[in-house]
Amino acid sequence: MNVSAHRAFSLLKDLAFERVSCSEAENRAAQRLLAEAQSAGVQAVIEPFTVPCGRVRHAKLVVTEPYRKEYEVTGYERALSTPEGGVDLPFYYAENGLPAHLGNVKGKAVLINGHLGRKAYKHLQKNGAAAILTFSGSTIDRRSETDCDIRKLREMLTDDFGKNIALNMRAEDAAEMVRRGAKALHIELTAEDYDGESRNVCAVIEGTEKPEEIISFGAHYDSVYFSTGVYDNMAGSVIIMELLRYFAVHKPARTMKFNWYGSEEQGLLGSKAWVKAHADELDKHVLMINVDVAAATLGQNAAPVLGTDAATAYVDGLMREMGTACDVKSDIYSSDCIPFADQGIPAVNLYRSGTAGANYIHDRRDNLKSGYIDERALDITLQQALFLARRVDGAKVFPIERKISDDIRKKVDEYLFKTDKKQEGEKQ
């Protein structure tokens, strides 16, 4: 029994549909991954968790002065609704929210550049913005080939700074509004919150010699809206399924856990829920191996290691021994490895990303028809993951120290906004 990139890619093709957090499709994908793991003779279960979700019934934006035009918008999920009949507000473009702009946002519908991060949201809320507008895509997008992105006011924004009315629009339209000197807007938004259910698919193969040491494999299987998420990240999901098949036959010395995480795209919610639910066993975890993004035909391999410099050197040595190209470095990676590192568990994230012009992520182009991923390229990361897994599992003494360097710890804290929250707490 050996791993098969062909079999992995076939499974990827079967699951190449949009799988947004808490959707029926995400559930369908979970059930299929569960059935695949069980069919390999491995004990597997679904572990559900609750996600704060939002539904948008209606969203509308009309420029009313000095010209009149309605623009296509999407409402942020979990945003505040406008009063019945909407609101009329002055419009203000605050660019990237520097102090020179923030003094002018009070009581206005404020457009900012691109992404609504925690810092920008905090400043807009504290300075009294009446509504927030963002844009996505690029100014040269063709409407027929792109979508107006659907976004969510995540808890990391709303928990600390409250809610607001928030809309997203296309970059081209945002540029037109600014260019034509829009002064006043009419905005309507009807949104409601609800608790959604997402799922992790969890499988276990008991170790034959050192069952008390646990190596876990992770990959998220959800996608964002409009994306079939084949590259990000059904590719990683099917790679760890092949590892499961391999170790179901070639029993590991250490206990191996295989987790397919839901709702990663909403802020690593699946892995955060998993770490919380399994708190009492985390001291047994010696390594987490995550695969997020793979199979790009034109691309490059990398492996950020969240651990010590010695762990990084060890993984780099293995890749050299294997003769495979892989840029191994000490760094964090925005994926399910983060909650593990946060708990002091070293993690390696293997990935193969597409090079510029051959990587499409988080929109409708992450699709099999885009033709930038293939089975041979998927095999590269599959082989690297298998080699790493076999070597660490086969080691007499576990070769990676259960430790996170100060540098990685700092980056993880920043990523999880712990640093910001600490400073905010000190100021109060």
User: What is the smallest separation between the CB atom of 348 and Zn ion, expressed in angstroms?
Assistant: 16
Tell me which stretch binds Zn ion (CB under 5 A): 40-48, 133-141, 233-241, 362-370: 233-241
Our finding on whether 172 is near Zn ion (CB under 5 A) is no
Give dist(CA 261, CA 270) in Å, integer: 5
Tell me which stretch binds Zn ion (CB under 5 A): 66-74, 128-136, 286-294, 380-388: 286-294
**Residue nearer to Zn ion on the CB measure, 125 or 271:** 271
Our finding on whether 290 is near Zn ion (CB under 5 A) is no
**Residue nearer to Zn ion on the CB measure, 232 or 375:** 232
Q: What is the DSSP letter of 152?
A: B
Which residues lie closer than 8 Å to 91 by C-beta, 6 or more apart?
63, 108, 109, 111, 177, 182, 183, 184, 185
CB 349 within 8 Å of CB 290: yes
Site string for Zn ion, 130-149 (x = CB under 5 A): --------------------
Tell me which stretch binds Zn ion (CB under 5 A): 27-35, 126-134, 231-239, 371-379: 231-239
Our finding on whether 222 is near Zn ion (CB under 5 A) is no
Our finding on whether 213 is near Zn ion (CB under 5 A) is no
Q: What is the DSSP letter of 77?
A: B
**Residue nearer to Zn ion on the CB measure, 63 or 296:** 296
The residue count for binding Zn ion (CB under 5 A) is: 3
Q: How many CB atoms lie within 10 A of CB 44?
A: 20
Our finding on whether 366 is near Zn ion (CB under 5 A) is no
Among residues 77, 172, 222, 292, which is the contact residue for Zn ion, using CB under 5 A?
Answer: 292
User: What is the smallest separation between the CB atom of 335 and Zn ion, expressed in angstroms?
Assistant: 6
**Residue nearer to Zn ion on the CB measure, 232 or 242:** 232
Tell me which stretch binds Zn ion (CB under 5 A): 40-48, 225-233, 390-398, 402-410: 225-233
> Helix, strand or coil for residue 215?
strand
Our finding on whether 271 is near Zn ion (CB under 5 A) is no
**Residue nearer to Zn ion on the CB measure, 198 or 233:** 233
Tell me which stretch binds Zn ion (CB under 5 A): 31-39, 103-111, 123-131, 291-299: 291-299
Q: Which of residues 85-104 bind Zn ion (CB under 5 A)?
A: none
Our finding on whether 232 is near Zn ion (CB under 5 A) is yes
CB 299 within 8 Å of CB 355: yes
Our finding on whether 233 is near Zn ion (CB under 5 A) is yes
**Residue nearer to Zn ion on the CB measure, 362 or 410:** 362
Q: Which of 171, 199, 184, 161 is nearest to 78 (CA)?
A: 161
Our finding on whether 363 is near Zn ion (CB under 5 A) is no
> Helix, strand or coil for residue 415?
helix
CB 94 within 8 Å of CB 104: yes
CA angle 42, 263, 136 (to 5 degrees): 145
CB 293 within 8 Å of CB 248: no
Give dist(CA 405, CA 308) in Å, integer: 5
> Helix, strand or coil for residue 21?
coil
- Residue 53 to residues 12, 156, 276, 375: CA-CA distances in angstroms? 27, 13, 20, 35
User: Both tokens of residue 190?
Assistant: 């009807």
**Residue nearer to Zn ion on the CB measure, 233 or 349:** 233
- Which helix (H) or strand (E) segment holds residue 291: the answer is strand 285-291
Residues at the interface with Zn ion (CB under 5 A): 232-233, 292
